[in-house]
Amino acid sequence: MKKRFRAEQIVTILREAEKAGNNDSVCRKYAISEQTFYRWKKKYGGLDVTEAKRLKGLEEENSKLKRLVADKELMIQGMQEVLKKRGWA
């Protein structure tokens, strides 16, 4: 699923909503639902733009590492099965 807004844009939108004091108008302006707005607020509420960029980078790195660990685990399981079939383990 392609995301329409980057983390920096989300932080800017949240700041704009704080200044305006009216979440409904900001939601209409950017064509987002209130649920999306509050989800963003929960995740990015206290961050500034640089922290949001860093958070996004860390999330991407974490997902890559999780995939790497899963691949290694599959390889280990495959090797263990081969060893069992040959009677070495």
Q: Is residue 64 domain-resident?
A: yes
pLDDT of residue 46: 84
pLDDT at 21 over 70: yes
Please name the residues in contact with 50: beta carbons below 8 A apart, sequence gap of 6 or more.
none
Please name the residues in contact with 55: beta carbons below 8 A apart, sequence gap of 6 or more.
7, 44, 47
pLDDT at 75 over 80: yes
Q: Is residue 57 domain-resident?
A: yes
Structure tokens at 70: 């899963």
Across the range 45-52, mean pLDDT stands at 86
Position 8, amino acid = E
Domain count, the chain: 1
Q: Is residue 29 domain-resident?
A: yes
Nearest-angstrom CA–CA distance, 20 and 46: 17
E strands of the chain, at which residues?
Answer: none
pLDDT at 29 over 90: yes
Q: Is residue 1 domain-resident?
A: no
